[in-house]
Structure 1
Amino acid sequence: MKLTATAMGLVLAATAATAEDKIVVEFGYPYSHLFDVTYEKILPKFYEQHPNIEIKMRATYESYEDGTNTILREAVAGTLPDVTMQGLNRQAILVEKGIAKSLEPFIAKEADFAKDGYHKAMLDLGTFGDDVYGLPFSISLPVGYYNMEVMAKAGYDETNLPTTWSEVVEACGKLREAGVDNPMFWGWNITGNWFLQALMWSQDKPTVEGNDFQLDTPEGLTALNTMKDIFSGCEMQNLEWKAALASFSAGDLGMMYWSTSAVGAVERAMGDFTLVTSEYPGLDEKGPMGLPAGGNSALMVSTSEDPAELEAAWAWLKFITSGEGAADVARTTGYMPPNQAANEIILKDFYADNPAKATAVRQLPLLREWQAYPGDNGLAATQVIYDGLEGIVTGEYSDMTELQEELTEEVQDLLK
């Protein structure tokens, strides 16, 4: 990870203790393009309070799936880090396999833990049984991104942006008539089949109930048909997700539907245009009935038995998910910090001054679970669905009833 000169100076100034006095905490996290700048902000503040601890950054995970696979491999090889960031929907498998440690012994030693910003609704995201295993670090929801100069070519301004998927398709047609070659990108390929779950939760329908994959329902067919309508109606290019973000930042796309997590990255990379974010469209004028909570959580996976090393790992885990550490998530990305102190106190005026990052906050009442596919084949099920959705984009699948049956059979076999 690269630090700015200022940050590096602060780090060096705050770490006067000799190397042999330091406790090293190894840390793994995903999405360097989103979070490197976040940790550049957090590290100097942490070192100021903990000069005897050194945070050693592991190579970043390419995605949440890559992060989970990496931890599963490292558990077998005996090379686990001390703390890892995992997608909210990937915590359960690490708990079930005994890789993640309960945080209850550490929480029990904290005075007034809830007053530091945590509250039950947020702790529940990382609670399994009666124990907290993960502290949420960042929360995201899907939103619409709009290049207002491009949208203006088709007669759109902030007052008449699309609110339904049929209106999105209509806008694509108008933009093409106005000479826009690639009007829209819809993030079907975002991690964890997140946008499929967004269409399911939009109908207030979970994607998984127990061990049953719910794509074989009327809501599942509606989700697939909606995707087909969007992809074909907008003649959407099958862009790799990083290429899609780069294309929007360069000013080539009029509309992009993606996680709010990328707002900070887009703002840092965007060309000379006006960025507006708006609520995620719905299937009808009533809007979505729910949306899946994206984001990640910090888990302790250290194999150390040294109390001092475990306490150091806890100090880092607690710092990045509480108060000031969590606030830096919002300042540097588009994620919302799942911490009451960060949102209500430290960031009191932040969202008023950063409206592009405020859209997801307005959608918080829609927040639903980002579901994982249960069992050891959960990651394989994710890939099967990914391949099926890509087949809609490329035109390989045109009969959504047939695709519904095929995906249901394959995924249900994996879940058994």
Structure 2
Amino acid sequence: MTSLPTRLGLAAALMCGASTAALAQDKVTIEFAYPYAALFDVTYEAILPKFYEAHPDIEVKFRASYEQYEDASNTVLREAVSGNLPDVTMQGLNRQQILVEKGIANSLQPFIADEADFQQDGYHEAMLSLSTFDGDVYGLPFSVSLPVGYYNMDLLEVAGIDALPTTWDDVVTACEALNASGSGNPIYWDWAITGNWFFQALMWDQGKPTVENARINMDSPEALVVLETVQKIVDGCEMKNLSSDEAVSTFAAGDLPMMFTSTSNVGRMMTIKSDFDFVTGNFPGIDGTPEGLPAGGNAALMTSASDDPRVREAAWQWIKFITSGEGAAEVARTTGYMPPNKAANDIILADFYDQNPQKKTAVDQLPLLSDWQAYPGDNGLAITQVIYDGLERIVIGDATDMEELQQELVEEIDDLLPSS
């Protein structure tokens, strides 16, 4: 016969098991996918324990990461057809529109309306507007970047350069001094970065949007200036055709004096660089301070097709947590991106930027924040490729006449735009 203490212990164990099973059964699981694992893995590793502490009833199942933003868009478009959408997806700020137009992204307005204190985290209006369509918010910006200059001050000092360049003419002059001092590889200008971001940067530099009235301003005088400026940088600096990853590695090794790319790599650079004086500087302009710069980065969109309101509510809790307050502060701590709200930037990170001046450069450029524009119609990704191919022709020396290249791009893009 079983003793009383043993029976009580057995009963307790059974009750505990039943309670654990019930808890597991009550837990809601959502699926989540994001791009750029090399940049963001460490961010989500920092966020996840804090989220679970606040929401022990929710489990976040991570899908395989997207390679980059174009891959993220294409993957979700395919998943919408196959009926295999994640509950939450991170998409490039310039890739949200197509998911809204196709009814894949869910409006967050009903969830926001139920939040009495939604504004307490102070989302920057300029950042929130990037995810607002026809008055409804469809995404919450998670990480926001601006282009900046990366400088190896030790190599610049050897070349006799004592001031950071403020224009692209200054950059070319610095390249000449660096090459004279034996550099042979003075610069990487990240022309290949996702979504024609740098092309749009040079358009906004002149105060000209790339997209206007559902057409691409490729036939504009400003677009010709962009192509001529790229050619000036490539030829004047004898720029090598590196990949973005090769450029980051070369700079980190101390072998590349200047690099112009997203601030997103700053956190990684501070971890992997060799022993040299690394600073960041404002993105140079064509004639001085740019009139605007495109906001890079990504936003959290709810793409859940679940009919279970608990799943959608859990997806909302995850979106809200990672884009506001303490969750968003990890973006700045672990990367070079800026959090999308004032609570993270001004309160939680009050002393952070003073202690990390390399990450402050992008924050100082916030007044220049402009839209990273989507290209109109179903051929938006194809238009991205056309502009990419045109820039590549400049970089490899295949295109030398910029007026001729401009006309070719205009004709190719016109064929891809929606017919009026």
TM > 0.5 between the two?
yes
The within-5 A match list for 1:335-350 is 335-350=337-352
Change (3 A) 1:260 1:119: closer
CA positional deviation for 1:257: 0.2
Taking only the aligned residue pairs, the percentage that are identical comes to 67
CA positional deviation for 1:21: 3.5
The within-5 A match list for 1:45-84 is 45-84=50-89
CA positional deviation for 1:378: 0.2
The within-5 A match list for 1:176-325 is 176-284=179-287, 286-325=288-327
- Distance in 1 of aligned mates of 2:296 and 2:414: 24
CA positional deviation for 1:402: 0.4
Is the Cα contact below 8 Å between 2:230 and 2:394 reproduced in 1?
yes
Equivalent position SS for 1:266: helix
- Distance in 2 of aligned mates of 1:78 and 1:298: 20
- Distance in 1 of aligned mates of 2:199 and 2:135: 30
The TM-score normalised by the length of structure 2 is 0.93
- Distance in 1 of aligned mates of 2:179 and 2:21: 60
- Aligned AA for 1:190? I
* Long gaps (5+) in structure 1: 1-14
Is the Cα contact below 8 Å between 2:126 and 2:369 reproduced in 1?
no
Aligned to 1:378: 380
Is the Cα contact below 8 Å between 1:187 and 1:258 reproduced in 2?
yes
Within the candidate set 127, 141, 164, 2:146 is matched to: 141
- Aligned AA for 2:315? A
CA positional deviation for 1:112: 1.8
Is the Cα contact below 8 Å between 2:124 and 2:340 reproduced in 1?
no
Q: Tell me which moved more, 121-130 or 138-147.
A: 121-130
Spell out, residue by residue over 1:180-225, the C-alpha distance to the aligned partner (whole angstroms, 9 max, x if none): 1211000100000000011111100111112221121111111100
- Aligned AA for 1:215? M
- Aligned AA for 1:216? D
Is the Cα contact below 8 Å between 1:17 and 1:52 reproduced in 2?
no
CA positional deviation for 1:18: 5.2
- Distance in 2 of aligned mates of 1:413 and 1:92: 21
* Long gaps (5+) in structure 2: 1-19
Within the candidate set 89, 104, 120, 2:94 is matched to: 89
Equivalent position SS for 1:409: helix
Within the candidate set 381, 384, 389, 2:391 is matched to: 389
CA positional deviation for 1:119: 5.1
Q: Tell me which moved more, 375-384 or 173-182.
A: 173-182
- Distance in 2 of aligned mates of 1:344 and 1:150: 34
Q: Tell me which moved more, 175-184 or 377-386.
A: 175-184
Report whether the alignment pairs 1:171 with 2:144. Answer: no
Within the candidate set 317, 323, 334, 1:332 is matched to: 334
Equivalent position SS for 2:279: strand
CA positional deviation for 1:115: 1.3
Aligned to 1:115: 120
Is the Cα contact below 8 Å between 1:16 and 1:51 reproduced in 2?
no
CA positional deviation for 1:17: 8.4
- Aligned AA for 1:125? L
Is the Cα contact below 8 Å between 2:142 and 2:297 reproduced in 1?
yes
- Distance in 2 of aligned mates of 1:118 and 1:55: 24
CA positional deviation for 1:117: 2.4
Report whether the alignment pairs 1:124 with 2:126. Answer: no
Count residues in correspondence: 399
The TM-score normalised by the length of structure 1 is 0.94
Equivalent position SS for 2:378: coil
- Aligned AA for 2:310? A
Change (3 A) 1:181 1:18: farther
Equivalent position SS for 1:26: strand
Change (3 A) 1:17 1:297: farther
Spell out, residue by residue over 1:327-353, the C-alpha distance to the aligned partner (whole angstroms, 9 max, x if none): 110111111111111111111111111
- Distance in 2 of aligned mates of 1:200 and 1:40: 37
- Aligned AA for 1:327? A
- Distance in 1 of aligned mates of 2:22 and 2:35: 29
Aligned to 2:9: none
- Distance in 2 of aligned mates of 1:16 and 1:191: 45
Is the Cα contact below 8 Å between 1:329 and 1:337 reproduced in 2?
yes
Is the Cα contact below 8 Å between 2:203 and 2:209 reproduced in 1?
yes
Aligned to 1:38: 43
- Distance in 2 of aligned mates of 1:241 and 1:413: 30
Change (3 A) 1:76 1:339: same
- Distance in 1 of aligned mates of 2:44 and 2:27: 19
Is the Cα contact below 8 Å between 2:107 and 2:138 reproduced in 1?
yes
- Aligned AA for 1:89? N
